[in-house]
């Protein structure tokens, strides 16, 4: 089993690589090689099998051709730029999120090796005139270019699979919280930082009210689901290879109460409640009445409680 | 009012040009210039205003740049290759139907003139796991590459509009019947030829049973709707610029009965009923439980009866 993670230097790529190193197998077969490809040098990973790192810019077909070889059995296609970045720089979003995805799929088509391709879409594909409740069969009316590019990626995954060029699977990831590390350029950044910074003993600002609701998943569960996603049997997937990944809807107030329950009353006192109308305006269009019927039927799961999300952060990620 | 029809040599492009020539105005403004652009030389059109023809290959950005100038107010983007062609030649479908659409939209973005862009999508975007009844808010799970490329075009039209690069409108056209002229490479070809050939005094073959149902519109109504589509006020369109164009569901038996009612019993006797399993297999996945709520609310209409479709053919098109 030869695995390539494109975007292997990112949060999910690194955690996925570590989980694969621990498991040692994928799709029931021992892993013989793992390659982490990224536009930035990915951090190396300790594993009982060889792990290579490679520079790759998915926006460049030649770079993709050098990275995606006929030896690869499973590709995790995680490389992307996030919503606010793609919204500010339309060109970059199109060349990486849309054409980058296309370049990888085209390379697979030309190789003719029909690899399993696991693509990370996003709940950002929901929006606009899509009707609640949202899920596997919702109309994609995204209100960001990032969401539009992900919705197009989903359609490409389905068509390249239907044509027999790849064995694709696309998962609409919930917002990941608690996301470790430094804040990124996503407008959703506060949904992790109001927990992460206080749990690390630092102050944080909450730009929305306590009753703001959203759809979340912990990094640990996300990785579990991405591994299950590759393991799924093509015969069980039907005509639509795209599905919502399970998550849960919580309000900011519920998340903070969970933090207090797990870590005591201290962290919550480090949150400054400073309404930010520009952030509120963006996130008020985001959707949370989301259901993951197909993925649940196939055995993917969400966290049992937000207390679990907090515990996973403390166990897996707290510096 | 300076209008560009890309795909202006095709069936709909030519009929649209003739209708514009007759009307003399669009969006309430006198037409001062019409350009018909196509990869094949479009037939010239008589009009009370100047009509130019131009060679343009939308798959080639340089050709698009030469054709789409900052003088253009309204673009009809009709150029495409049809379903069976795009299914046989994946590369051609992607470069024309997907990248061709992208090239035109990118040219508009670079010009910064925010033209009205009317895009012709198709009911081929429905399919697979999409849930009946189908319409404006259905999940696009197309089962042809043509349908996938149109579904992507829709998302691009919405995002380029949301960003303020164009004032886009996309209509999912029903199957056009009675389509005049020679059969094309569409698998739906028989849905016109079993009427057109007999009405012209020639034999035709029906590859499916009389109870086969599908969703249709006459060319005349389609053109009317495309003109109304350009006239619509952006303020009435909401967050989703994509909508189903009204049509009606008829069985093959009902269509033939309508032909007999309008043209007498002769034509129906010219139909040979020869089941073709390969055609049946393709069209059995096509969808017909389709509803055009938004477009109807905005004043677009379907034919009143299939008798009308037959009459329009006899009046407008019969050689
Ligand atoms: N984290 C979330 O909340 C979330 C939610 C929904 C979807 N997703 C999706 O999951 C995937 C992974 O997310 P993440 O949280 O690990 O993001 P991340 O930003 O941590 O990682 C993305 C990686 O892609 C790399 N990259 C960017 N442009 C590239 C290019 N042109 N070529 C090659 N590599 C490039 C970056 O260097 C980065 O290492 C992304 O596709 C993202 O859109 C994430
Ligand atoms: N007629 C239908 O039943 C129907 C149904 C749904 C959607 N549509 C869509 O409506 C539009 C017009 O349909 P039509 O029936 O007039 O089709 P048509 O085939 O008669 O016309 C399409 C025109 O596009 C031109 N073209 C093809 N490739 C081109 C390229 N690379 N650059 C420039 N021009 C190119 C062709 O030469 C042709 O003149 C198409 O987008 C089609 O997909 C039609």
Task: Supply the CATH number for residue B37's domain.
Answer: 3.40.50.720
User: In terms of domains, do A134 and A207 share one?
Assistant: no
CA-based nearest distance A29→chain B, Å: 31
A239–B127 C-beta distance less than 8 A: yes
Report residue A279's pLDDT band, with 50, 70 and 90 as the boundaries. Answer: confident
Q: Of the candidates B191, B164, B158, B166, which has an alpha carbon nearest to the alpha carbon of residue B176?
A: B191
The verdict on B11 and B76 lying in the same domain is yes
Collect all residues of chain B within an 8 Å Cβ-Cβ radius of residue A143: 162, 239
Q: Which residues are paired to B204 by β-bridges? A: B271
* Cβ proximity of A83 and A146 under 8 Å: yes
pLDDT tens readout for residues A53-102: 999 999 999 999 999 999 999 999 999 998 889 999 999 999 999 999 99
Alpha-carbon distance B95 to B58, whole Å?
A: 8
Cis peptide bond N-terminal to B178, omega within 30: yes
Instruction: Give first-to-last CA distance, chain B, whole Å.
Output: 33
- Tell me the β-bridge partners of A17: none
Confidence check: pLDDT of B122 > 90 = yes
Question: What is the percent of chain A with per-residue pLDDT over 90, rounded to a whole number?
Answer: 93
C-beta of residue A61 within 8 angstroms of C-beta of residue A120: no
Q: Are residues B309 and B233 in the same domain?
A: no
Cβ of B40 below 6 Å from ligand 2: yes
* The pLDDT of residue B186 is above 80: no
Residues B154, B9 within the same domain:
yes
- The answer on B267 and B164 residing in a single domain is no
Q: Are residues A264 and A154 in the same domain?
A: no
Average pLDDT score over chain A? 96
Distance CA B29, CA A224 (A): 59
Question: Rounded to a whole number, what is the distance in Å from the CA of B269 to chain A's nearest CA?
Answer: 40
Pairing status of strand A175-176 against strand A29-30 = unpaired
Average pLDDT over residues A222-238: 98
- Do B81 and B192 lie in a common domain? no
What 3-state class would DSSP assign to A117? strand
Range B67-88 average pLDDT: 95
Same domain, B192 and B105: no
Edge-to-edge strand list for the sheet holding A213-217: A175-176, A213-217, A248-251
Q: Give mean pLDDT, residues B52-68.
A: 98
Strands A242-244 and B248-251, bridge-based pairing: unpaired
Q: Are residues A163 and A312 in the same domain?
A: no
Same domain, A8 and A55: yes
pLDDT at B302 (0 to 100): 98
Residue A85 maps to a domain: yes
- Across the range B273-296, mean pLDDT stands at 92
Whether residue B297 lies inside any domain: the answer is no
Q: Is residue A116 part of a domain?
A: yes
Residue B136 lies in a domain: yes
Helices (H), chain A: 11-23, 61-67, 83-88, 90-93, 99-111, 145-162, 190-199, 219-231, 252-263, 277-284, 293-297, 306-312
Host H or E run for residue B84: helix B83-88
Q: Is the dihedral of CA A245, A251, A254, A256 positive or negative?
A: positive
Residue A155's pLDDT is: 98
Q: Does the C-beta of B78 come closer than 6 Å to ligand 2? A: yes
Whole-model pTM? Answer: 0.97
Any idea what the CATH number is for the domain that residue A196 is in? Answer: 3.90.25.10
Residues 6+ apart with CB under 8 A from A275: A207, A208, A209
Q: Does residue B293 belong to any structural domain of this protein?
A: no
In chain B, which among 159-198 make CB contacts under 8 A with chain A? 159, 162-163
| B202 belongs to a structural domain | yes
Residue B298 lies in a domain: no
Residue with tokens 């962290």: A267
For residues B9 and B154, state if they share a domain.
Answer: yes
- pLDDT confidence of residue A278: 84
Query: Using an 8 Å Cβ cutoff, are B110 and B160 in contact?
Result: no
Question: Taking the CA atoms of chain A, what radius of gyration do you get in angstroms?
Answer: 19
Looking at the DSSP bridge assignments, the partners of residue A25 are: A30
pLDDT at B84: 86
In a domain, A295, yes or no: no
**Rounded distance, CA A276 to CA A189, Å?**
13
A150-204 pLDDT, tens digit each: 999 999 999 999 999 999 999 999 999 999 998 776 778 999 999 999 999 999 9
If you average pLDDT over residues A128-150, what whole number do you get?
A: 97
Q: What is the C-alpha radius of gyration for chain B, rounded to an integer number of angstroms? A: 19
Residue ranges around ligand 1 (CB below 6 Å): A 7, 9-13, 38-40, 56-59, 78-82, 96, 100, 120, 122, 173, 175-176, 184
- pLDDT in the model for residue A185: 64
Tell me: pLDDT of A3 over 80: yes
Task: Decide if pLDDT at B73 tops 80.
Answer: yes
pLDDT beyond 90 at B185: no
Range of the domain at A134: 2-175+219-244
Q: What is the pLDDT of residues B125-145, one digit of tens each?
A: 999 999 999 999 999 999 999
* Same domain assignment for residues B193 and B44: no
* Phi-psi map region of B214: left, alpha, beta (phi>0 left; psi -120 to 50 alpha): beta
Domain count, chain B: 2
Q: If you average pLDDT over every residue of chain B, what do you get?
A: 96
Residue B188: is its pLDDT beyond 90? no
Asked whether the predicted pLDDT for residue A254 surpasses 90, the reply is yes
Q: Which two tokens stand for residue B128?
A: 């697979």
């Amino acid at each position: 089993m030869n695995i390539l993670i494109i975007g292997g230097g990112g949060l999910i790529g690194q955690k996925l690589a570590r989980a694969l190193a621990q498991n040692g197998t994928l799709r029931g077969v021992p892993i013989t090689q793992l390659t982490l490809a990224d536009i930035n040098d990915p951090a190396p990973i300790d594993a009982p099998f060889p792990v290579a790192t490679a520079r790759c810019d998915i926006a460049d077909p030649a770079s993709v051709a050098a990275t995606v070889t006929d030896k690869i059995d499973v590709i995790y296609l995680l490389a992307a730029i996030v919503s606010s970045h793609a919204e500010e720089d339309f060109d970059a979003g199109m060349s990486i999120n849309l054409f980058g995805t296309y370049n990888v799929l085209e390379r697979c088509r030309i190789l003719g090796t029909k690899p399993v391709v696991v693509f990370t879409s996003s709940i950002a594909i929901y929006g606009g005139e899509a009707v609640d409740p949202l899920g596997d069969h919702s109309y994609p009316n995204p209100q960001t270019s990032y969401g539009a590019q992900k919705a197009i990626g989903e359609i490409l995954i389905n068509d390249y699979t239907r044509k027999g060029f790849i064995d694709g699977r696309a998962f609409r990831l919930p917002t990941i919280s608690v996301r470790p590390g430094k804040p990124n350029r996503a407008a959703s950044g506060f949904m992790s930082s109001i927990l992460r910074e206080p749990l690390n003993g630092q102050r944080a600002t909450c730009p929305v009210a306590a009753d703001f609701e959203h759809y979340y998943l912990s990094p640990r569960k996300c990785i579990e689901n991405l591994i299950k996603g590759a393991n799924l049997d093509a015969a069980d997937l039907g005509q639509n290879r795209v599905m919502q990944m399970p998550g849960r809807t919580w309000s900011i107030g519920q998340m903070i109460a969970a933090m207090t329950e797990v870590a005591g009353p201290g962290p919550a006192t480090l949150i400054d409640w400073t309404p930010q109308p520009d952030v509120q305006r963006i996130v008020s269009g985001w959707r949370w009445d989301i259901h993951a019927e197909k993925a649940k039927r196939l055995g993917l799961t969400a966290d049992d409680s937000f207390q679990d999300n907090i515990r996973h952060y403390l166990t897996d990620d707290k510096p």
